[in-house]
Chains A and B, each alone.
Chain A
């Protein structure tokens, strides 16, 4: 027990890797064993994540469960992990989404072994990002998360999978190359990659003596380059308009389980990167460029909603809804970034940042659920064309009820978790970006339109012609089991958001100290 306690974060990464190894060792023809074995095995990271959540001492704040051992002593990079109130909710989310996504992958026929192995790899990489307290380590996990996702889309995707997967990986890699350079620059400036040191007064890059004078006279140039390189990588991941066009393709072509992970947890790396790295490492630059980020966030909210409204492909509609929702994360980040200039009250910055983190959690829940439900109907009808459905509620009553519930969660219906986070972000952004906040409401309005449009096209109206002869079965038990935890979480966190917000609040308060 002591061993688990003291190495729990490492175990959290090793467990999925072990799962991957077990899957690879399993006989390929035993697909049932691989599938269910993987699902059962992925309960272990959940247990570990819950132990971390429960064991985190909120009174003490700061990073806990820390572990550090030398890794690249030559460049002052170490294996340093730890968690705080901002990362724990995302770790728990990621741990939960893995088995749920696997449950939605039971119908995978081809390459079962590789598919489930990649899933474990994905989980390990994502969790690794959230626990890293060293820039190099973070970058390794950040890049590692791309690989399984690339193959999941490329091998198990839809008709346009090649285009989507290459667009996804090249676009993201191009952006993270810049970040790699920026990490080097930070390393040169502060002579360390350790985040705790970099966050501290003497270690903060581009302040005091931590300067880079390479090639230029004015050292602030390097600060700008580093800031933009980091920002670009995370803006693309989040994604923020106009860096978002990889997302509709990648989400739409990915297999259901892959879309759930992609929307549910991978996008969160973008928001997490802003809050964990960009704001603390470059507070001045972040504050200076916060208005730009806020404008782009506003555009994402509004145009993401309009784009979703215009789709006739169910999955693309849900994909664009992510851009709409993640825009709130971005505007929350922008408002929080202003806190360092003292242009906003601390409570506003706190609400904006907590709201942004919570929005990542709630969007993780609702978008994963929505992608799962798109998968359910696609699995049966073999089409994602909204105009071909119609009146399915009559023959799929349970599915209808669940779809309405999750859609309302996505719409941000008060009483469900999405509302709380949107409210907090809106409240936090009010004093910093009053006009943009007001205008963003137009985006929320259109959110309502596209959600209702989807519901109407799928469930309402007379039953579509085709389904008279080709009856669709209602949602199955495993599928319900895959969605139900997300629904319960949406409801419980809608009524008692403090269950998670207390934790987030602890992390955010410390961020602004």
Chain B
């Protein structure tokens, strides 16, 4: 297929879902089936277009140097030149054009069943379409500005969808929190964009990132404001600020766990296909900017450290959560930390690999948890029905397919609490086996899951850095290994509590397997959660490497071609080392084994306390997420709110208007005095003033102390004073 045609297809790929949003919002919002068909159909079309581009792109040898490009259009005229917006597909973009539309399509199909009875079904699909379309737009953007446009549109979509149950305070609070927390990062990103644009005169990725000259210039120029690092470093850090917000990295990670207030398919969108992946995608895009300064630069160190902290933070918190989705939310934070840490040590290929494999298994886990919640709600519904035949279902959960539009009046049964589950393996077998596949991938179960290969790749790169004496690599290796252990442990805990043993509630005992529209996407995702890892088995891996022959290490080779050669940053080919492999095996199997010992062998009984609670204070600390929310509330939100609440009263009314009104009163006073002078000294003069007053009208008299001549006089005096002031000052 010709390049031009591929470029056109790339332009077209994001359009169907974007149009679907408009069509549903404007025309078909009353017709549920039509809207769902439009949404799914549009995403499917986008998926097909993307696949055509992807499979063609894979075959292009020099895609890294010469990406597929669509014809740009003029966005902003700037004096003699123009700022253009276009689309392009390079290897990194191509891999995303495979993962994103595929995951989105599956989530869309799943949603038709999951949201089936929701009264705002069409609104949901409208936003979902916009969400998917925006992510597609972001992926194909050839410049940072349009990327930012779609980036923010996604922020808006996540705001709308997290707050989808808008009547529920917890939902709209979570929505605002998500929007504002990510906006902090977005403002840094915007500054990075502006700075980059100032330095280079363009925002086109290929003009900046594939251009040795520009990169060198950025690396050699000192940063503004005397910060002591290179411009490239500062720009990279500012752009990374965007990633920190969007991909929920410490210290802006707090929004992501609350984001599960939205319907579950939204969580799958946010945690896998769109939002958080976009953050990492951006950082990967700007990897050359990090790379150009060489290894272990301040920018690299910051990225690596933030990633390591986040990986650790998320993993520890996930251990002490009961909500099935909350565990997954913190595991996302932790896994994103893995990717960021990988980028921080320069492991570009490993980060791409882990991002893609994580997208598949995390989408699977979230959709699986949705299926579980759906099943348990059905069970609860079933029980409630048989118990209160006559009572009816007036509370929000009355209809099991309507997920939480209103806050329950009383603390009702929580279908997301894993303590209310147990034994679902038998009730929901497809959900169980697919969830198991996803869970094992997350835990990094050796050889047969994608998660193992991608995580192992990161550890191998970190170990290599460690052996060459890099501090950041050492930190990353140790922290990630420990976090991976925790990951395997909490995954075993989650699977055991949810699916193994006996049902701990009536609802769980009566849970039913979900409809095919929900289970089929799970099966497809489970396939990728397992087999995707084989796209990137290391070449020199014992036995398997040879088995895959030339296909070994394909993904890394494919995406690696788009990086420019940098003298200070040598991608040394390093051989196979057994230590990181052993580490991977030990942490994955060790964590799973530990989890199995605590939760799998003797599953929790109804009413039994979770063993992790035995940690006491540590459990409380972790369960409350290290108290970040409380901390932020105390040091940021409260003081700022206080400024906002008092500013206009104290400054605008209290100071500025006080001065103005004071000046006015002085004017009136002088006017009165003059009038008095008039009346007494020049008798006839008062008539003149009286006439003036009358001619200006009755309104003037009604005003406050009310003499218009006072105002005019004041104005005149002000002008005279001003003039005198400048005469005196200037001389």
- Specify the chain A residue showing the minimal Cβ separation from B25: A401
List residues of chain A with CB within 8 A of the CB of B714. 170, 174
A162 and B75 in contact, given A174-B715, A307-B648, A434-B225 (Cβ under 8 angstroms): no
Interface: B197 (CB within 8 A): yes
| Cα of A450 to Cα of B82 in the assembled complex, Å | 34
Q: Is the CB–CB distance between B166 and A393 below 8 Å? A: yes
Q: Is the CB–CB distance between B703 and A162 below 8 Å? A: yes
| Cα of A465 to Cα of B649 in the assembled complex, Å | 29
Total contacts A to B, CB within 8 angstroms? 195
A472 to chain B, nearest CB (A): 16
Q: Is the CB–CB distance between B652 and A445 below 8 Å? A: no
Task: Select A310's contact among B77, B648, B704, beta carbons within 8 Å.
Answer: B648
A174 and B719 in contact, given A414-B148, A423-B190, A441-B191 (Cβ under 8 angstroms): yes
Q: Is the CB–CB distance between A498 and B76 below 8 Å? A: yes
| Cα of A307 to Cα of B80 in the assembled complex, Å | 40
Interface: B78 (CB within 8 A): yes
Interface size on A, residues (CB 8 A): 84
Residue of A170, A419, A446, A502 ringed by the most chain B CB atoms within 10 A: A170
List residues of chain A with CB within 8 A of the CB of B152. 413-415, 419
Interface: A201 (CB within 8 A): no
Interface: B206 (CB within 8 A): no
Task: Select B660's contact among A154, A171, A444, beta carbons within 8 Å.
Answer: A171
| Cα of A479 to Cα of B191 in the assembled complex, Å | 38
B residues 69-126 near A (Cβ < 8 Å) are 73-82
A225 and B660 in contact, given A310-B648, A462-B406 (Cβ under 8 angstroms): no
| Cα of A460 to Cα of B406 in the assembled complex, Å | 11
List residues of chain A with CB within 8 A of the CB of B163. 460
Q: Is the CB–CB distance between A307 and B25 below 8 Å? A: no
Interface: A218 (CB within 8 A): yes
A307 and B644 in contact, given A218-B730, A414-B152, A501-B77 (Cβ under 8 angstroms): yes
Residue of B160, B184, B191 ringed by the most chain A CB atoms within 10 A: B191
List residues of chain B with CB within 8 A of the CB of A350. 78-79
A445 and B184 in contact, given A414-B152, A460-B166 (Cβ under 8 angstroms): yes
Interface: A291 (CB within 8 A): no
Q: Is the CB–CB distance between B77 and A166 below 8 Å? A: no
List residues of chain B with CB within 8 A of the CB of A498. 74-77, 82
A437 and B194 in contact, given A221-B730, A498-B77 (Cβ under 8 angstroms): yes
B residues 437-468 near A (Cβ < 8 Å) are none
Interface: A389 (CB within 8 A): no
List residues of chain B with CB within 8 A of the CB of A225. 722-723, 726-727, 730
Interface: B224 (CB within 8 A): yes
Interface: A62 (CB within 8 A): no
Q: Is the CB–CB distance between B180 and A413 below 8 Å? A: no
List residues of chain B with CB within 8 A of the CB of A456. 172, 176
Task: Select A448's contact among B81, B180, B191, beta carbons within 8 Å.
Answer: B180
| Cα of A166 to Cα of B651 in the assembled complex, Å | 21
Q: Is the CB–CB distance between A414 and B153 below 8 Å? A: yes
- Specify the chain A residue showing the minimal Cβ separation from B406: A462
Interface size on B, residues (CB 8 A): 77
Q: Is the CB–CB distance between B149 and A419 below 8 Å? A: yes
- Specify the chain B residue showing the minimal Cβ separation from A311: B648
| Cα of A351 to Cα of B197 in the assembled complex, Å | 12
Residue of A437, A446, A452 ringed by the most chain B CB atoms within 10 A: A452
Interface: A348 (CB within 8 A): yes
A74 to chain B, nearest CB (A): 24
- Specify the chain B residue showing the minimal Cβ separation from A394: B167
List residues of chain B with CB within 8 A of the CB of A445. 180, 183-184, 187
List residues of chain A with CB within 8 A of the CB of B191. 426, 437-438, 441
List residues of chain A with CB within 8 A of the CB of B722. 178, 225, 228-229, 232
| Cα of A283 to Cα of B645 in the assembled complex, Å | 40
List residues of chain B with CB within 8 A of the CB of A320. 648
List residues of chain A with CB within 8 A of the CB of B386. none
Q: Is the CB–CB distance between B172 and A415 below 8 Å? A: no
| Cα of A148 to Cα of B77 in the assembled complex, Å | 37
- Specify the chain B residue showing the minimal Cβ separation from A512: B79
A83 to chain B, nearest CB (A): 19
B residues 186-211 near A (Cβ < 8 Å) are 187-188, 190-191, 193-195, 197-198, 201
List residues of chain B with CB within 8 A of the CB of A453. 176
Interface: A245 (CB within 8 A): yes
**What 0/1 pattern do residues 164 to 206 of A give for CB contact below 8 A with B?**
0011001101100110010000000000000000000000000
Q: Is the CB–CB distance between A462 and B647 below 8 Å? A: no
List residues of chain B with CB within 8 A of the CB of A37. none
| Cα of A453 to Cα of B172 in the assembled complex, Å | 10
| Cα of A67 to Cα of B387 in the assembled complex, Å | 86
- Specify the chain B residue showing the minimal Cβ separation from A170: B711
A426 and B190 in contact, given A163-B704, A448-B183, A462-B406 (Cβ under 8 angstroms): yes
Interface: A287 (CB within 8 A): no
**What 0/1 pattern do residues 584 to 596 of B give for CB contact below 8 A with A?**
0000000000000
A438 to chain B, nearest CB (A): 6
| Cα of A249 to Cα of B731 in the assembled complex, Å | 38
B594 to chain A, nearest CB (A): 43
B400 to chain A, nearest CB (A): 22
- Specify the chain A residue showing the minimal Cβ separation from B651: A303
Task: Select B647's contact among A220, A307, A431, A501, beta carbons within 8 Å.
Answer: A307
Interface: A435 (CB within 8 A): yes
List residues of chain B with CB within 8 A of the CB of A181. 719, 723
Interface: A270 (CB within 8 A): no
Q: Is the CB–CB distance between B660 and A430 below 8 Å? A: no
| Cα of A236 to Cα of B151 in the assembled complex, Å | 37
Interface: B699 (CB within 8 A): yes
A245 and B194 in contact, given A216-B727, A311-B648 (Cβ under 8 angstroms): no
Pick 11 A–B contacts, CB within 8 A, sort by A: A220-B730, A225-B727, A309-B644, A310-B643, A347-B78, A347-B81, A391-B166, A415-B149, A441-B190, A446-B644, A456-B172
Interface residues of B (CB under 8 A from A): 25, 73-82, 145, 148-153, 156, 159-160, 163, 166-167, 169, 172, 176, 179-180, 183-184, 187-188, 190-191, 193-195, 197-198, 201, 224-225, 406-407, 640-641, 643-649, 651-653, 656-657, 660, 664, 699, 702-704, 711, 714-716, 718-719, 722-723, 726-727, 730-731
Q: Which 10 interchain pairs have the tightest Cβ spacing?
A: A174-B715, A309-B644, A414-B149, A310-B644, A221-B730, A441-B187, A460-B172, A414-B152, A505-B77, A307-B648
